[in-house]
Structure formats: structure tokens, C-alpha cells
Amino acid sequence: MNENNDKEFEIRITPSSISSLFNDDIERQILSPLSCLREYGTHWLLEFDLPLVNKKDIKITFDENFISIEAKLKESYFEEKFGKKTKFEYFKKTLMLPGKIDNKKISAKFEKGRLKITILKTIFSRKIKVK
């Protein structure tokens, strides 16, 4: 759920193939963005550096405890290593969260090339009988 009711983000909850998470992104010409995951008492804060990206070109996908970020670059980025030039047009990264999430209580904000996603934890409560 996007806090601002801003329809520019696409957040999908879909099943995915776990094996596809481990494909070589260099061969597929996809960049992996820098990211940071911080845990707080009731939520996680995920931050991704996405320079050269428009907000409308970001896709956030959840599958159980996995979160995937995909973003199309405004323009192609070229990198040359060992005499081989590689063209990149996308960022993509998949992370596994350390606990259950409530996929109905997610907010995302994109500002100055930085994507921040707040994910509330699923908190289970139960009565404990004292003996």
C-alpha cells in the first residue's frame, strides 16, 4: 500500500521462481543497486540507491519473505572491463527479509534517487497460561 495513494509505483505480490533469483545479472546486463536493510521494533526500512531512474519506472514485488526491486534507467549506462563493453539498462535486486511481513502495510517513497520502503512486521500474539 502506498501511503500517498500515488499510482506511480507498481507493487505486486506474485509467485516467482527462486532459481531465477540467482541468475548472472552481468550476462543479463542488469545492475544491482546499493541497498541497506535496517530493523526497528515494529518495521523494517529498506533503502535502495537508484540514480538515473524515474519514479514511474520502479517496480516492487513481494513473494513470501522476498522483495524484488526493478527499475529502468533513464538512459543506458556503459561499463568497460577487460576490453569488453557492457550496456546496462536496468537495476534489479532481490532480498530475503528475516521475518514475516504484512503485505497490506507497506509504503514506498522515492526522492532524489533514493527509494525507501517501510514494511511493517507481522506480529503474532497469543495468551500464555500461567501454571
> What is the pLDDT at residue 128?
75
Cβ contacts of 30 within 8 Å, gap of 6 or more:
88, 90, 91, 92
> What is the pLDDT at residue 18?
41
pTM of the model: 0.68
Angstrom distances, CA of residue 69 to CA of 33, 38, 55, 78, 103: 9, 17, 12, 21, 15
Q: Which CATH architecture has domain 10-121?
A: Sandwich (2.60)
pLDDT > 90: what percent of the chain? 29
Highest mean pLDDT among 8-17, 19-28, 64-73, 117-126: 64-73
Locate the domains of the chain by residue range. Answer: 10-121
